[in-house]
Amino acid sequence: MTPSFERSTALQARLHEVVPGGAHTFAKGSDQYPEGMAPVLLRGHGARVWDVDGNEFVEYGMGMRAVTLGHGYAPVLDAVRAALADGVSFSRPAVLELEAAEDFLRVVPGADMVKFCKNASDATSAALRLARAATGREVVALCRDQPYFSSQDWFIGTLPINTGVPEAVRSLVRTFPYNDLAALRALLEAEPVACVVLEAASALAEPAPGYLEGVRALCDRHGTVLVLDETITGFRWAAGGAQAVYGVTPDLSTWGKAMGNGFSVAALAGRRELMELGGLRTDRPRAFLLSSTNGAETTGLAAFRAVVRAYTDSDPVAVMERQGRALAEGVNAAAAEAGIEEHLSVLGRPSSQIFRTTDATGAPSQAMRTLFLQEILRRGVLGQSYVVSAAHTDADVEQTVEAARGATLAYRKALETGRPEELFAGRPVAPAHRLMAEPRRLHPTCSGPTAPVVPPARTPESPVRPLPASRR
């Protein structure tokens, strides 16, 4: 039975009236879900969430990868409640700031100092400012194969949705491909570069043998600051981040998301001689590093310390890796049973997976993605990805695999007809960072036509195999 989203749809309409885009994060927008099936949530516990219509879902994505221990994880909540009782914000450093910093540096031994803030966008932008101050250079280089580094102008200027970013800012950014040392070498030889910014790895790309060591060596040779963005990889690849997994030590690293299991806390960490440029113990001109009213408020730091304890006392990463592998194996097997494994598959590191949806030609398809999202939502699974947490149980994974197995029937039919739009209502989902807001219905009170979907013709080179008898 298809769940009702009546109340969610009504609340989403109200959200569009008072919040630009109807959500405070692009990836949470209603345009990322099948039309009329964007649940508005009431609560969550473990790996499950409940919406305003009373629907219960196994959730993936987990707060945009921020929740690794599960919603409502009791030790974190207990630590936050205790901090609340003693005050949240003071006019001098609290003992908690020192204790949290010492905890962080024990987890990330390659760093000498750390400064906390509320989001990793600010931490990464502060890393650039610090690198420019240290080197006297203005140009920065970032990996173009990795999707997001900051909400500030230096990065937003590289996106299609860059309206409002001055050309003077965009002109100071260079990009390079991942796993291509020759391209990075050419970039660094062409002009002085303040810093190289990249993730050591991503959900879909592991570093080639010698790549990160080569990046480190190139930065050393050219006097360029190496910044590793650990926003996603920190506490998901390992407590010490991807740098601990791959054995590379950056000059600076930036952290967020899973640090607080959903509470707002982020960090900039790095070598003492760089970090002190933003401190009081330097003879050089000081850099404005990070300074904000709420940068060290106690709830975020208390949550962080509780997360560190959880990673010390148990192994959440191992649980995520195990459950992620089981999920991928199950969904990929279901796709193979239906004869559509070339078009629907689960990819990536087990703790941070996505599902790949392609049309009959093998091209990535938003329409096919919409259909798959619709079918798993109908079966009690919510998620734009298969990013797991340590709270995902065997039962959660089993339900998700069964939901995907049920979805393969509609998916296969869409491949055979070449008309997936006949199997879902409204517009297909859309890339979050697209430049134009197409004239589509964002919610029932908006006017404007629904953009047509023109499916590509199936080619002889990519036939759909006959459906196995057991799945007909």
Walking along the chain (472 residues) 10 residues at a time, the average pLDDT comes out as 92 96 91 95 98 98 96 98 96 97 96 97 96 97 93 89 93 97 98 98 93 98 98 97 97 98 98 95 88 94 98 98 98 98 97 96 96 98 96 98 98 97 92 56 34 35 44 38
379-to-55, 324, 370, 382 alpha-carbon distances in Å: 10, 19, 14, 9
Which pair of tokens denotes residue 74? Answer: 């009791």
Residue 435: predicted pLDDT: 53
- How crowded is residue 18: how many other Cβ atoms within 10 Å of its Cβ? 7
Interaxial angle between packed helices 95-107 and 298-313, expressed in degrees from 0 to 180 and rounded to the nearest 10: 40
Distance CA 381, CA 404 (A): 9
Residue 438: predicted pLDDT: 53
Name 178's Cβ contacts closer than 8 Å, sequence gap at least 6: 143, 145, 146, 198, 202, 205
- Residue ranges of the domains in the chain? 6-71+316-471, 89-296
* 6-71+316-471 CATH, one of 3.90.1150.10, 3.30.465.10, 3.40.190.150, 3.40.190.10: 3.90.1150.10
- pTM score: 0.90
Alpha helices in 149-265 (DSSP H): 153-156, 167-170, 181-190, 211-222, 241-246
Give strand pairing partners of 386.
Answer: 353
- How crowded is residue 393: how many other Cβ atoms within 10 Å of its Cβ? 15
Say whether 89-296 and 6-71+316-471 share the same fold.
Answer: no
Length of the chain: 472
Name 465's Cβ contacts closer than 8 Å, sequence gap at least 6: 339
Q: What fold, for 89-296?
A: Aspartate Aminotransferase; domain 2 (3.40.640)
Residue 101: predicted pLDDT: 98
Encode 162-173: b = buried (16+ Cβ within 10 Å), e = exposed. Answer: beebeeeeeeeb
